[in-house]
């Protein structure tokens, strides 16, 4: 990929904008989809959030200062969109975020876009018992296999704090799975 600054210029220039944005989409749609899907859990919601994320990326691109990498900036937008989506959906249903996630996991068994079995369901159930930040760190590290440096740039925390967070998350998950 060409120099990131140059690429951002192409994204901002009306003449090259469409081609550049197409390129951005094809490069990031899969990893961002996986990231969002891991947070919202079902496909239809992930689809909505992913589209909104790209629209926001396009809208805010002119405010992108290049202080962080385009990659982590986009992941940050996706994370915020997904978390906002979850809390709004929970509010709309008059339940807590955790109760909503529990319900979504129960529905996964009947979801045609889910082919996990007992252990996947159990792991998801274990994850939702964690605090939000630990959930994110665990999913990004274990499922998406992002590097600690990348996660740190996305979530704006130190690598040390992330390692501790991940360690705590793994311990709690192991305890949950063992006892359930």
Partner 1 sequence: MKAFKLENEPKISTGFKTPDHYFDDLSAKVLQQINEDKKEVKVIPFYKRKKVLSILAAAVIIMALMIPIVNNYNATSKELDEDTLETYLAYQSNLNQYDLIQNLDAKDIQKLNKNVAIEDETLEDILSSTPNIEHLISE
Which of 132, 108, 131, 129 lies closest to 118, judged by CA? Answer: 108
Q: Residue 28 Cβ, how far from partner 1 at the closest point, in Å?
A: 10
- What burial letters (b/e) apply to 146-167, b meaning 16+ CB within 10 Å? bebebbbbbbeeeeeebeebbe
Pick the closer one to partner 1 by CB: 95 or 170.
Answer: 170
Q: Residue 72 Cβ, how far from partner 1 at the closest point, in Å?
A: 20
Q: Residue 139 Cβ, how far from partner 1 at the closest point, in Å?
A: 8
Contacts to partner 1 by CB under 8 A: 18, 21-22, 25-26, 29-30, 33-34, 37-38, 41, 43, 47, 50-51, 54-55, 58-59, 108, 113-117, 119-120, 123, 142-143, 170, 173-174, 177-178
SS3 33: helix
Pick the closer one to partner 1 by CB: 22 or 158.
Answer: 22
Q: Residue 94 Cβ, how far from partner 1 at the closest point, in Å?
A: 27
SS3 111: coil
Pick the closer one to partner 1 by CB: 29 or 94.
Answer: 29
DSSP state of 139: I
Sign of CA dihedral 84, 154, 24, 69: positive
Pick the closer one to partner 1 by CB: 31 or 94.
Answer: 31
> How far apart are alpha carbons 170 and 150 in whole angstroms?
19
């Amino acid at each position: 990929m060409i120099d990131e600054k140059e690429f951002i210029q192409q994204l901002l220039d009306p003449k090259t904008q469409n081609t550049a944005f197409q390129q951005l989409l094809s490069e990031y749609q899969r990893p961002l989809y996986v990231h969002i899907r891991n947070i919202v859990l079902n496909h239809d919601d992930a689809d909505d959030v992913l589209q909104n994320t790209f629209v926001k990326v396009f809208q805010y691109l002119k405010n992108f200062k290049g202080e962080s990498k385009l990659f982590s900036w986009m992941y940050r937008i996706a994370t915020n969109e997904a978390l906002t989506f979850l809390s709004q959906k929970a509010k709309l249903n008059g339940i807590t975020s955790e109760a909503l996630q529990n319900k979504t996991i129960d529905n996964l068994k009947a979801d045609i876009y889910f082919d996990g079995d007992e252990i996947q369901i159990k792991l998801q159930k274990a994850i939702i018992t964690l605090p939000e930040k630990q959930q994110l760190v665990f999913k990004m590290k274990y499922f998406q296999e992002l590097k600690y440096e990348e996660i740190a740039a996305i979530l704006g925390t130190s690598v040390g704090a992330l390692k501790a967070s991940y360690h705590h998350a793994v311990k709690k998950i192991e305890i949950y799975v063992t006892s359930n």
